[in-house]
Amino acid sequence: MAIGRPSPSSSQTPDPGAARRPSRARGIPEATVARLPLYLRALTALSERSVPTVSSEELAAAAGVNSAKLRKDFSYLGSYGTRGVGYDVEYLVYQISRELGLTQDWPVVIVGIGNLGHALANYGGFASRGFRVAALLDADPNVVGSTAAGLPVRHMDELEEIVASQHVSIGVITTPPGAAQQVCDRLVEAGVTSILNFAPTVLTVPDGVDVRKVDLSIELQILAFHEQRKAGDEPAAGDSVLDRAPGPVRAAAAKLRRAAGGKAEQAKTAPAAKGGPDDDLSAVMPA
Site for DNA in 102-131 (CB under 7 A): none
CB of 161 to its own copies, least distance (A): 21
Question: Under the criterion CB under 8 A, does residue 90 sit at the interface with its own copies?
Answer: yes
Residues near 15 by Cβ (< 8 Å), separated by ≥ 6? Answer: none
Cβ neighbours, 10 Å, residue 237: 14
**What number of chain residues touch its own copies (CB under 8 A)?**
119
CB of 185 to its own copies, least distance (A): 16
Question: Under the criterion CB under 7 A, does residue 95 sit at the interface with DNA?
Answer: no
Which residues within the stretch 64-83 sit at the binding site for its own copies (CB under 8 A)? 64-66, 77-82
CA 190 to chain centre: 23
Question: How many alpha carbons lie under 13 Å from residue 115 in its C-beta half-sphere?
Answer: 2
Question: At residue 169, what are phi and psi to the nearest 5 degrees?
Answer: -120, -5
User: Cα dihedral sign for 7, 11, 16, 18?
Assistant: negative
Per-residue interface string for the shown chain with its own copies, residues 91-130, x marking contact by CB under 8 A = x--xx--xxxxxxx-x-x-----xxx-xxx-xx-xx-xxx
**What number of chain residues touch DNA (CB under 7 A)?**
40
Which residues within the stretch 237-266 sit at the binding site for DNA (CB under 7 A)? 246-248, 250-251, 254-255
Helix, strand, or coil here: 106? strand
CB of 274 to DNA, least distance (A): 25
Judged by beta carbon distances under 5 to 8 A according to partner kind, the member of its own copies, DNA, none in contact with residue 285 is: none
> By the 8 A CB rule, do 147 and 171 touch?
no
Question: Under the criterion CB under 8 A, does residue 7 sit at the interface with its own copies?
Answer: no
Which residues within the stretch 152-181 sit at the binding site for its own copies (CB under 8 A)? 169-170
Helix, strand, or coil here: 157? helix
> By the 8 A CB rule, do 93 and 87 touch?
no
* 212, β-bridge pairs: 196
Binding site for DNA (CB under 7 A): 15-20, 24, 29-32, 54-57, 65-69, 71-72, 74-75, 79-87, 246-248, 250-251, 254-255
